[in-house]
Chains A and B, each alone.
Chain A
Amino acid sequence: MALWVDKYRPRELSKLDYHKDQAENLRNLCKQSDFPHLMFYGPSGAGKKTRIMCLLREMYGAGVERLRNETMSFTTPSNRKIEVMTVGSNYHLEVNPSDAGMYDRTVVIDLIKQVAQTHQIDINGQREFKVIVISEGDELTKDAQHALRRTMEKYVATCRIILSVNSTSRIIPAIRSRCLGIRVPAPSENEMTAVLQSTCKREGLVLPPELAKRVVEKSERNMRRALLMLEASKVQQYPFTAQQQIAELDWQVYLRETATQIVSEQTPAKLEKIRDRLYELLSQGVPPNLIFRGLVEQLVNNCDMSIKAKTLEYATQYEHRMQNGAKHIFHLEAFVAQFMNIYKKFLAELVMTDDF
């Protein structure tokens, strides 16, 4: 049994639930025999992938939904073998080069050239080009992005690239100027509620408006998360009640507790305990940048403005170093220690001024 997220994913551009004007534009794009390289950008859960698949279906017909998994292996210049999973149909290929870590450049060079240099066998097929979908394009290293530049121009007649990225900030300008950017904003709260309601209707369930509203609020405008939450709630308790508890992601709860502990006590002993908790989070596979963001959001809650500014200043500094460094835990811990330092000084000053 498929999850609701997959089961009710719109499969055609005309069936999309929101951003209908954009869908109209995308259909226009398909009508001509050809489209440029595309870059879909937007927050996660906004529907980038859904739109890409709809677009492909519109272009190639139902054939794009016959997917197969393939493992491709590459040899890096240093003779190391790497394997990357790809999902593809006869018409497109979906790959996540950042799976290969620092070797993503090899993947980009080899795979894309390989695909780009072969033609569609069926010349009467609808289109003369294949599509390569690169997911998490913003995780590509600068090297890999540079490698893409000329490839995108050279093989433009046999292959189109669709990038799916969360933010264009990390994409080098040379790539940005070669793509048509398509902005996919997160759905508004009303749109999300409507989707939740229609999903429930199709499942034959009754969803109280209050509950829908709370799910939407909790989901942070992430459609996928909202649907998953709703389904989880249904498993927990049905029929729904307006006040029922919504299953929250346990790492978020854990992170919040961690932040509370940091604020409650600032000692080396506590720091050591926090380290265990951070390790726990990392080992559960929570991305370190999310940990950073979550910590900052929680920590600044009860602070003075000057502390907030300082905390953020250090957070940006350590987060940046973390992105460039190898071991995430060092930088997370350095940030926690620094925060404890600022916070403790602030408290001490408060006591001093109180005394006078």
Chain B
Amino acid sequence: MTANSVIAIAFLKTGKSSSGNSSTDKQATNAPTERRKPPAPWVEKYRPRSVDDVVEQSEVVAVLRKCVEGADLPNMLLYGPPGTGKTSTILAAARQIFGDMYRDRILELNASDERGINVVRTKIKNFAQLTASNVRPDGRSCPPFKIIVLDEADSMTHAAQAALRRTMEKESRSTRFCLICNYVSRIIVPITSRCSKFRFKALGETQIIARLQHICELEGVRIDPDAYKSIVRISGGDMRRAITTLQSCYRLKGAEHTINTDDLLEMSGIIPEHYLEDYLEVCRSGNYERLEHFVREIGYSAYSVGQMMDQFVEFIVRCGSLTDKQKAIICDKLGECCYRLQDGGSEYLQIMDLGCTIILALK
């Protein structure tokens, strides 16, 4: 069975997938030549296939498990940081609930689809208005509703969200909505009040390590036991990032290499600690030319200033040699610079500005 349902759908047309899904199997055997299995990234390959595989998120799993057993499903709003399993959970649940009818019963829209107000008015409404029967083609019973999954819902416009409001209520007999987003604050209140909200927590160290170990065993990856911890630190609770990092490292270094912490750090784009110390040291000297030189060097070595600022916050807060007031001034500026940088400001100017503020604060 292939990694994930989504891939299976994407390849139905061509029959490339050899999924456990029976309709796909049929297609695959019809294909004229035997094809190699499409290479799947581990993130897809090891996506949870049933709701019971989902780790950590106990509340939502409990609700979905009930539903798989035949109970009704509420409209849902899943939110939480990236890589915590929001999309995986709902897709796994849908496959369990609907089985072969999965394709007819699910409408998945994400930010890559056109999702303006027109789509809500036509596509979503039309799909919602279809009635769903409560028996499967093979005679078994199934829940009499369809699910509309709106992935990355926080990038929908407010107008489009507003257009959803009445549709969600009116079609509640035959349709359930599942909205997925990172920031619940970007969803308008009338929508959130119509859904039961589930927060996805960032994953803990033990869960990530357990999963990584599982993958390493199956794939035959050689890895230094200490390296697991660094992966967790790099990923910050994001399972996808953890798995991608592991796989990237494995691919780059080849199968014979034992992955260690240094490889991981280089791969992830994390800036070595000494750069942060140097930056503060240069600022302490109060010499503008040295600061400029240092900033240029960072630019040449291609480290990301955004990443540097992220790490610098932590560094400043923990730094023992600064007074509280200095820390406050620096962090204030840091926030401002980070914001501007994210918003498209120039890297060079932002980090120079930060540097000048630090120089003045340390005087």
Contacts and interface: CB of A to CB of B under 8 A. Distances in A.
Q: Does B associate with A?
A: yes
A157 B337 contact: no
B14 A119 contact: yes
Nearest to A141: B344
B114 A31 contact: no
Interface string B298-313: 0111111111000000
A32 interface: yes
A316 B345 contact: yes
A170 to B, nearest CB: 6
Interface string B28-63: 000001011011110110000000000000000000
Interface stretch (A9-17, A232-240, A301-309): A301-309
Contacts of B288: 300, 305, 308
B253 interface: yes
A42 B251 CA distance: 21
Nearest to B32: A123
Contact of A177 (B82, B151, B353): B82
B268 A320 contact: no
A113 B10 CA distance: 11
Interface in A301-356: 305-306, 308-309, 312-313, 315-316, 319-320, 323-324
Nearest to B338: A169
B252 A168 contact: no
A170 B151 CA distance: 22
Interface in A281-314: 289, 292-293, 296-297, 300, 305-306, 308-309, 312-313
Interface stretch (B65-73, B92-100, B240-248): B240-248
A128 B155 CA distance: 32
Given A177-B241, A183-B269, A313-B353, A150 B110 contact: yes
B171 interface: no
B160 interface: no
A228 interface: no
Contact of B346 (A32, A151, A177, A293): A293
A188 B13 CA distance: 50
B198 interface: no
A211 to B, nearest CB: 22
Nearest to B44: A156
A26 B267 CA distance: 12
A316 B350 contact: yes
Interface residues of B, number: 73
Contact of A183 (B152, B240, B253, B303): B303
A176 B238 CA distance: 12
Contacts of A46: 302
A319 B345 contact: yes
A277 B254 CA distance: 55
Given A36-B247, A157-B39, A324-B344, A28 B254 contact: yes
Nearest to B35: A123
B342 A312 contact: no
A210 to B, nearest CB: 23
B16 interface: yes
Given A28-B252, A149-B112, A153-B6, A320 B151 contact: no
A323 B349 contact: no
Given A157-B38, A167-B306, A323 B343 contact: yes
A128 B36 contact: yes
B253 A170 contact: no
Given A42-B302, A180-B244, A32 B251 contact: yes
Contact of B244 (A109, A178, A324): A178
B360 interface: yes
A339 to B, nearest CB: 13
A147 interface: yes
Contact of A174 (B10, B82, B116): B82
A157 B9 CA distance: 12
A77 interface: yes
Contacts of A157: 7, 10-11, 16-17, 38-40
Contacts of B25: none
A248 B349 CA distance: 24
Given A169-B304, A320-B340, A312 B252 contact: no
A22 to B, nearest CB: 9
A319 to B, nearest CB: 5
A332 to B, nearest CB: 13
B286 interface: yes
B189 interface: no
8 contacts: A36-B244, A109-B112, A128-B39, A150-B111, A169-B306, A169-B307, A183-B269, A323-B344
Interface of A: 25-26, 28-29, 31-36, 41-43, 46, 77, 108-109, 113, 117, 119, 123, 128, 143, 146-151, 153-158, 167-170, 173-174, 176-178, 180-181, 183-186, 221, 289, 292-293, 296-297, 300, 305-306, 308-309, 312-313, 315-316, 319-320, 323-324
Given A31-B254, A292-B349, A293-B346, 6 more contacts: A167-B304, A167-B305, A177-B241, A180-B252, A184-B302, A320-B340
Interface of B: 6-7, 10-11, 13-14, 16-17, 33, 35-36, 38-41, 43-44, 82-83, 110-114, 116, 118, 151-152, 155, 238, 240-241, 244, 247-248, 251-254, 266-269, 286, 288, 292, 299-307, 337, 340-350, 352-353, 356-357, 359-360
